[in-house]
Structure 1
Amino acid sequence: MSAAGIEAFLEMLAAERGAALNTLKAYRRDLDDLAAALAHQGTTLAQASPGQLGGYLADLARAGLSARTQARRLSCMRQYYLFLAREGRRPDNPASMLEAPRQTAALPRFLSEGDVESLLAACVARADAGQQETRRMLVARTALEILYASGLRVSELLSLPRASLQRASGMLVVRGKGGRERMVPLSSRARDTADDLMRMDRPLSSPFLFPGRNPQRAMTRQGFDRILHDVALKAGLDPQSLSPHVLRHSFATHLLSHGADLRALQMLLGHADIATTQIYTHVLTERLQQALRQHHPLSEHAVG
């Protein structure tokens, strides 16, 4: 019964909530791990008690799993047992009263505006470079311009079709998690470099803006990581501190620091829940503190 319950639960997540494939795989792994642990106790997913589920979470903590991972496993359990209860497969939700471990709020890493400019300036081929190196630097420049101008996830970036850049509009249609589409503005600098790359790549007849070794397939994440590594070295930055996700965080942080609205940022990033976007409120807090120091009449630094 438990296996059927898992399948039905995952089907519900895909059909009703548009859950992404990676999310479904993660939930399946979590539930399979829980089922195996319960089997050692002589019980099943369907028969598990609150105490047994609490014991499982305690075992995760003793095994050294992070608070974030424990919280994700608990969220999966709550949703799964709520589904079983609604389907009449259980009379209760045994995970509903379990407490999530406390998590320390980890602020996302981001680059300074100067570091971003250094990265972009490094995407220039040598004067004596051949066509391969010239194209490699153009790919890097185009990718970085789009990432920093739009805050795309790397999967969204690498899967961009050429057709999405061939419209006259200044907006880019992006297919994000769960197949949800959103529109993000594209800067003139990003569009210009993309146009240069598409002209250079026209003989490849690829459907993608960033073709892979096989032009009929998109560039892989590993291929893009190698390019990003080389550009970071040219810019004098630590490659280990740079990733597409760091650029996405930089986009969000710099927008907020220049006065962007949190709700608008949520739409640009493609977050389904505003709570996800609120990790960036550290920027808003710093801005409010600075405003208070500068303008409050009792502040030592007040202007006036």
Structure 2
Amino acid sequence: MELPDVSSYCDPYRPVVGTFSDMTRDAWHVKEFLQSLSTAAPATLSAYENDLEIFITWSENRELIGPRDVNSQVILEWFRSLLKQDQAPKSIARRRSTLRSYFGWLLEREFIAIDPTIGVPAPKGDSKLPRPIAQNEIQNLLDSQVQELRDANGPEKTLVLRNLIIWELLYGSGVRVGELCSLDRSSVNTSDGTLEVWGKGSKLRRVPMTPISCQLLKLWLHGGSINFDETLTPGRQDAEALFVNRRGNRVSRWDIRRVVSKSQRSPHAFRHSFATHLMNQDVDLRAVQELLGHSSLTTTQIYTHVSKKELQEAHRDFHPRG
């Protein structure tokens, strides 16, 4: 394929019944889930195991014997129990993230039919935005992906191409993860460099793409996706989806998290960085609102506070009398 010219800690709420290594809980598929996190740091794996141990012990005390018994009401009740224990919002937010990753993986592997975390609101206090990624850090990440694409050979080349486009759209267009997953081949207009995106509330909007995104998507649409389907996805594929996984299904949130896992940042951190970097360049607030698909300007104003905080930190760190 021809490439374009591009440049264990103490937790008072932890059960005392032992660790997962001591327990037989095959019905929950925890061991398989943890093994799937091959790129995760040891500390991350430990945190995931701890969070799941707490949740599963709590669930089994309520006579739930496996993930199929868990619904959205169960998730909400668990969050409420954590709030009653006066756990820090940051800890609850992390455990919420663990459950979303875990149940997303279970759904992807068809161990469950419905993800019970979908639509469950964040517990009160879980409003902290991810730390924006520095521009030079993002540039280095994208440059390394471009080099990986140049070095790749055989069928894996199309996988690397797909992943690079995902990185570019998350940061270059600021789309939500759910919006990225729902993109169809017909959503892309490389002629005028835009994407048709279905946002929250089933609202359709057009978002611009960067020139590199356009170039890469032309490669993808004019052969890359076909090579991906023929070499990496057995059986039938979702013909409408812009991106599919190795099972031939439309990519899921879990797939997107796995793609960006090497950055050790969440997919939403790239959207957050997209908005913050625009605000740092004095882009009009209402323009940023439109790009992000926010229904309220108040939501977008969060990013003005982030930018001001960055200016204050820069002043403190670098001014002679800071």
Give the TM-score taking structure 2 as reference length: 0.54
Distance 1:32 1:143 in 2: 31
Q: Aligned residue for 2:137?
A: 115
Q: Answer yes or no: is the 8 Å Cα contact 2:177–2:256 preserved in 1.
A: no
SS at match of 1:122: helix
Distance 1:213 1:269 in 2: 30
Distance 2:75 2:150 in 1: 56
Distance 1:139 1:179 in 2: 26
Match of 1:207 among 234, 240, 259: 240
SS at match of 1:182: strand
**1:278 to partner: Cα distance:** 2.2
Q: Answer yes or no: is the 8 Å Cα contact 1:256–1:283 preserved in 2.
A: no
Distance 1:278 1:134 in 2: 40
Distance 1:111 1:292 in 2: 19
Q: Aligned residue for 2:252?
A: 220
- Percent identity, aligned pairs only? 34
Q: For each residue in 1:1-26, what CA deviation from the matched residue of structure 2 results, as whole angstroms up to 9, or x when unmatched?
A: xxxxxxxxxxxxxxxxxxxxxxxxx9
Match of 1:62 among 72, 77, 84: 84
Q: For each residue in 1:92-132, what CA deviation from the matched residue of structure 2 results, as whole angstroms up to 9, or x when unmatched?
A: xxxxxxxxx99597343111001111111111337663323
Match of 2:288 among 254, 262, 265: 265
Structure 2 letter corresponding to 1:64: D
**1:182 to partner: Cα distance:** 1.4
Q: Aligned residue for 2:107?
A: none
Structure 1 letter corresponding to 2:182: S
Q: Does 1:168 align with 2:191?
A: yes
Distance 2:179 2:298 in 1: 21
Give the number of the structure whose alpha-carbon radius of gyration is greater: 1
Q: Does 1:157 align with 2:190?
A: no
Q: For each residue in 1:121-161, what CA deviation from the matched residue of structure 2 results, as whole angstroms up to 9, or x when unmatched?
A: 11133766332321122112111111111111111112211
Q: Aligned residue for 1:137?
A: 160
Q: Answer yes or no: is the 8 Å Cα contact 2:130–2:268 preserved in 1.
A: no
Q: Aligned residue for 1:244?
A: 267
Q: Does 1:106 align with 2:128?
A: yes
Q: Does 1:29 align with 2:73?
A: yes
Distance 1:273 1:253 in 2: 17
Query: For the aligned residues, what is the CA RMSD?
Result: 3.8
Q: Give 5+ residue unaligned stretches, structure 1.
A: 1-25, 34-56, 71-100, 294-298
**1:292 to partner: Cα distance:** 10
Structure 2 letter corresponding to 1:209: L
**1:251 to partner: Cα distance:** 0.4
**1:274 to partner: Cα distance:** 2.0
SS at match of 2:155: helix
Distance 2:204 2:165 in 1: 22
Q: For each residue in 1:268-304, what CA deviation from the matched residue of structure 2 results, as whole angstroms up to 9, or x when unmatched?
A: 11122222222212244257769999xxxxx999xxx
Q: For each residue in 1:42-64, what CA deviation from the matched residue of structure 2 results, as whole angstroms up to 9, or x when unmatched?
A: xxxxxxxxxxxxxxx9x875322
Structure 1 letter corresponding to 2:246: R
